[in-house]
Structure 1
Amino acid sequence: GDYNGHMKDADAVYKNIIADNPAMLVKRVYWDAYPRVTTATGNSYPEVTELLKNAMKKGALVMNYSGHGAPYTISHEQVLKLTDFKEFNSARIPMWITASCELTPFDMPEENIGETSMLNKNGAAIAFYSATRAVYADENRILNDKYMHYLLGKDKNGRRYTIGDAARLAKTALVDINSNVLDTTSNKLKYVLMGDPALTLKKPTEKVIIDEINGQKTSSGNKPQLKAGSIARIKGHIESAGGRLNDYKGIVSLLLQDSKDTVVCKNNTGDSKTQYTLYERNKTLYEGSDSIRNGIFETTIPIPLDINYSNQSGRLNLYAVNTDKTIEANGFTEDFTVGGSEDIAQKDSIGPAMFVYLNNPDFKDGETVNETPYFYAILSDSDGINTTGTGVGHDLQLVIDHKDTYILNSYYENDFGSYTQGTVTFHLPELEAGKHHLFFRAWDLKNNSSSTILDFNVEVGLRPQLLDVRTSRNPASAQTTFIISYDRPETETQFNIEVYDAFGRLWWTHNETSSTANGYH
């Protein structure tokens, strides 16, 4: 809407972020690039809503929004509503920055998104930077750009700015006569920071360096080609400003993307003479992790058949953390191409092996679950699991009652150090009481599929089931930690613990309510 103005503003901020932070993975989500759904209650973008919720759940560092807003909603189409921020539940909490009108009128007697996010004890935002009143798009873009510059930047001594310092410096920069951009209006004064101003966002301090791809040194100047159906071999190391970190031990996570796609927006509102165009890496070819020893890592990546075949540059992002989680590193390379096909000597026609259940690994077909069960699919295939979303129909697909379809590509996670097996986890939306049917299909990287079905019964209000209870010390003399495994991840659950001695006397009780992402409390 607004003649593509908000997309242009967001793009301007995006380009400066990647120029200053080339190793960071930055994803653009523009409403107009997705189908708009029109009903009697108005317009909506359900795909965008799902993408944003999933980004928050997976652990985005920053969620940055440019567009219209109100205390109860982000955008006219209510892509995210006040209730979403009330209900959001994740241990991986982002910082929210909104170049938008009055999302946080904290001095008014009404609920608003900014305060609600901060008061959600299960996690919606670690901090919220937004406006308290109506503001203007041009000035919003200038402030947003300055704030991101300081938020992700360092001072002259190499120290990261706190989120409070970033807010102060961004505003003062706009009235500095030596600044290249000035804003002498009161617009910036309407922005407030909800959160701890002394907080510094986590950002890697060291570098992940890719040394070789398929045996070819990246310093050679020649770009290796990653062919469909092949196995890419990656070697690299960790280094700091002082040189290689030979004692670094930890985990490296890798994300491989295909070449850029041309994304032509749809001009859904019809108010622009031209359709906005951007170039984005929409296809993730692989996501996994492996170990780092003595500052060195070696890993393999399967290249699916569903690639662009463009022979243009792909992108490999890497993130590393040491064993005690005190030193982070990141890096990237675009010095390779994706295209061509590997000669496959032996044809494979067998799809992935799968073990599928709801809530509990002991689940049996036809059993009873709660109204929002948790879906699990443990998958394995010697060629790897296809989650690219590129080939027509080659998605991880879940269908409930023959009508409600969910694409679960982004919910798949490879097992550590392996590309041949992994797990899909998905929290099903609320279902009505009674009998239901589930169909699930998965594809391997050679485009062979497997599928399975489950029947189950929903009982509203069904009590959670304990799977296991352990203690960190047993017997315990002074203290111990209870580790409880249960079948309701991502669901607020009340835990009541009572400890008795050998004679049946009650020694200790404890009650608390919590929600966890993995079913362990």
Structure 2
Amino acid sequence: EVLITNPNGGAIALVTTSRLVFSSSNRIINNSYIENLLPVGGSVPTIGEALRLAKNAIPQNANNRKFTLLGDPCTRLAIPKYSIHTVAINGNPPGSYDTLKALSEVTIQAEVRDENDMLLTSFNGIAIPSVFDKVSDLSTRANDPDADIFTYQAQQSLLFKGQSSVNNGQFTFSFIVPKDINYAIGEGKLSYYASPNTGIMDAAGHDQSVIIGGTSVNPIIDNEGPQVDVFMNDASFQFGGLTDANPTLYVKLRDESGLNTVGNGIGHDIIGTLDNNTQAQFVLNDFFKSALDSFTQGEVNYPLNNLEDGRHSIRVRAWDVSNNSGEGYTEFVVVSAPQLAIEHLLNAPNPVMNSTSFLFEFNNPGEAAALEARIEIFNAYGERVQTLVYPLSPLEGYRVAPGELTWDGRDASGAELAKGTYLYRLQIIGSDGRKAEACEKLVLLR
């Protein structure tokens, strides 16, 4: 029930039990429900109708009365309407694909088709292609002392996941096959999903005829690791800057041969380490998002939570498809709300000729729209010559954007000030009276 009633997440519906059930009977009704919920061809039933059909298909099953639906029975799964098909791999049409070999560059063309299997030229949007290695044999861990080990198969070794622009129903993407593949020759899988720029009619498809294995006779040569740039929230963050207790780790990655985000090789994951604590590292592979129409760069957005006040460090290590590593590092200071704090106050340009922008970081960007920035400017005699008041705009990061707080070098009466050195004081003031302040100098030239 908590999954249904949770206001901040959960499930849209549950097929669940009202009393004790056993695994053997569960398997029978689960299989029947999946078969009726996801029919091969034809229309997709509602989740309530699928459960009715599933129970009627196995009338003697002991669990029929014990399983019930919590949720709207008229809901249908959002199964894509259109299909996606591979057109060519390295210029070769279906039926004559080249084997995808480790460290070889691959270019794949695909297209979106309508219900009549015709190219859908009106479809424009973004496709997310994924390339999987061969099926693997896996086993359960037998965590309980008397548990049996169950062997099963899964196709989960992801070799590449990218983003590609779909124009007039067609898209193309390229990548370099990682060194960390299973070198045995066998069937891999291409999986596609595409969403339109406008509307809700999406598309999906897969291709299991692609062959993967072996090593390229002309492998790419790359001996340099990826470039890894580490920030907090966005790329405007400065080393040692302020954050609140729940910042987002933002990492920009780039490598000419592509980034290894699959972690098939031991130790080749994208790893984050907070405060040099190697016992509490976190894997960032699933948070990597490839840049649009490029396999050489991408970014990671990873939420951090409930950090203690004070100075912290974070280190990120990543690998390219040739198994070269690269590392990025930054430090930041957590000042949790409700306290306000300012760091890295400056103005640019400085010296000032005609106008300048004031830049700074503060620790609570989510509260920016409720804050006011006040800048007082003093001459060499300590006389206040100008007071500037700005309402702050909502921020994505912790740093005020250039051009938001500006000054034209004039005093309160509008007259141009004489050249010289001036002191300015910034105050951030909350509606509840909380404030923080910092001071700096600027030079005015005429």
TM-score (norm 1): 0.62
Q: Answer whether contact 2:175 2:258 (CA < 8 A) is retained.
A: no
Unaligned runs of 5+ in 2: 339-362, 370-392, 399-446
Cross-structure match for 2:37: 151
Letter in 2 for 1:279: Q
1:467 positional shift = 9.8
2:179 aligned counterpart, secondary structure: coil
2:133 corresponds in structure 1 to: 258
How far apart in 2 are the matches of 1:283 and 1:160?
30
Report the secondary structure of 1:217's partner residue: coil
Bigger-Rg structure (1/2): 2
1:142 aligned partner, one-letter code? I
Counterpart of 1:204 in structure 2 is 80
Mapped contact 1:244–1:295 kept (Cα < 8 A): no
User: Structure 1 counterpart of 2:287, which letter?
Assistant: Y
Write out aligned runs for 1:58-137 (5 A): 115-137=1-23
What is the aligned counterpart of 1:335 among 206, 209, 216? 209
- In terms of fraction of residues, the more strand-rich structure is 2
| Equivalent residues of 1:254, 1:289 under 8 A apart | yes
The one-letter amino acid paired with 2:22 is Y
The alpha-carbon deviation at position 192 of structure 1 amounts to 2.4
Q: Does 1:267 align with 2:177?
A: no
CA drift at 1:344? 5.0
Which of residues 254, 261, 267 is equivalent to 1:387?
Answer: 261
Amino acid at match of 2:48: G
Using the TM superposition, give the Cα deviation of residue 206 of structure 1 relative to its aligned residue in structure 2, in angstroms: 2.4
- Deviation at 1:424? 0.7
Displacement of 1:385 in angstroms is: 0.9
Structure 2 counterpart of 1:376: 250
Which residue of the partner structure matches residue 48 of structure 2? 164
* Superposed displacement of residue 126, structure 1: 1.4
SS in 1 for 2:137: strand
1:296 and 2:181 are equivalent in the alignment = no
Q: What CA distance in whole angstroms lies between the structure 2 residues aligned with 1:325 and 1:468?
A: 34
- Alignment partner, residue 192 of structure 1: 68
CA positional deviation for 1:160: 1.5
Equivalent residue number for residue 406 of structure 1: 282
Equivalent residue runs for 1:228-243 within 5 Å: 228-243=102-117
Shift of 1:198: 1.2
Number of residues paired by the alignment? 348
Q: Which amino acid aligns with 1:390?
A: N
Contact 1:131 1:192 in 2 (8 A): yes
Runs of 4+ off more than 4 Å? 343-346, 466-469
Question: How much has 1:466 moved relative to structure 2?
Answer: 5.0
Note the alpha carbon deviations across 1:144-184, whole angstroms, 9 max, x for none. 222222222379xx322111211222223332xxxxxx32x
SS in 1 for 2:162: strand
User: How far apart are 1:265 and its partner, in Å?
Assistant: 2.8
Secondary structure of the structure 2 residue equivalent to 1:189? coil
1:432 alignment partner, one of 308, 315, 322: 308
Deviations along 1:346-388, whole A, 9 cap, x unmatched?
7332222232111243322223322232101011111111112
1:276 maps to which residue? 150
Deviation of the 1:242 alpha carbon:
1.9
- The match for 1:465 among 361, 365, 369 is 365
Task: Please tell me the residue identity of whatever aligns with 1:143.
Answer: I
Among 287, 291, 310, which residue is 2:184 paired with? 310
Q: Tell me how far 1:485 sits from its aligned partner.
A: 4.8
Partner residue of 1:357 out of 228, 231, 235: 231
The letter for the 2-side match of 1:249 is N
**More displaced, 253-262 or 318-327?**
318-327
Quick one: distance in 2 between partners of 1:345 and 1:286? 17
Question: Residue by residue, what CA displacement relative to the aligned partner does 1:114-165 show, whole Å, maximum 9, x if unpaired?
Answer: x22222222221112211222222222222222222222379xx32211121
Q: Secondary structure, in 3 states, of the residue corresponding to 1:243?
A: coil
| 2:350 paired residue number | none
Deviations 1:240-261 (A, max 9, x none): 3423134232322111011122
Partner of 2:380: none
Deviations 1:243-284 (A, max 9, x none): 313423232211101112222333221324x53212222321
2:318 to 423, 442, 445: 442
- Once residues 50 and 298 of structure 2 are traced to their aligned partners in structure 1, the CA distance between those partners, rounded to angstroms, is 40
Report if the CA contact (8 A) 1:237-1:244 is conserved: no
Aligned partner (choices 23, 26, 36) of residue 140 of structure 1? 26
Q: 1:419, CA displacement in angstroms?
A: 0.8
**For the Cα contact (< 8 Å) 1:467–1:487, is it kept in 2?**
no
Aligned partner letter, 1:119: T
After TM superposition, the score normalised by the length of structure 2 is 0.72
Cα gap change, 1:440 to 1:370, in 2 (>3 Å): same
Cα pair 1:435 1:455 within 8 Å, conserved? yes
- Tell me how far 1:203 sits from its aligned partner: 0.5
Q: Distance in 2 between matches of 1:400 and 1:425?
A: 15
Q: Describe the shift of the 1:288–1:468 C-alpha distance in structure 2 as closer, same or farther (beyond 3 A).
A: farther
Q: Which runs of 5+ in 1 are unaligned?
A: 1-114, 176-181, 470-482, 489-521
Structure 2: how far apart are the matches of 1:251 and 1:451? 30
Q: Secondary structure at the match of 2:35?
A: helix
Measure the CA separation in 1 of the matches of 2:78 and 2:334: 42
Is the Cα contact below 8 Å between 1:464 and 1:486 reproduced in 2? Answer: no
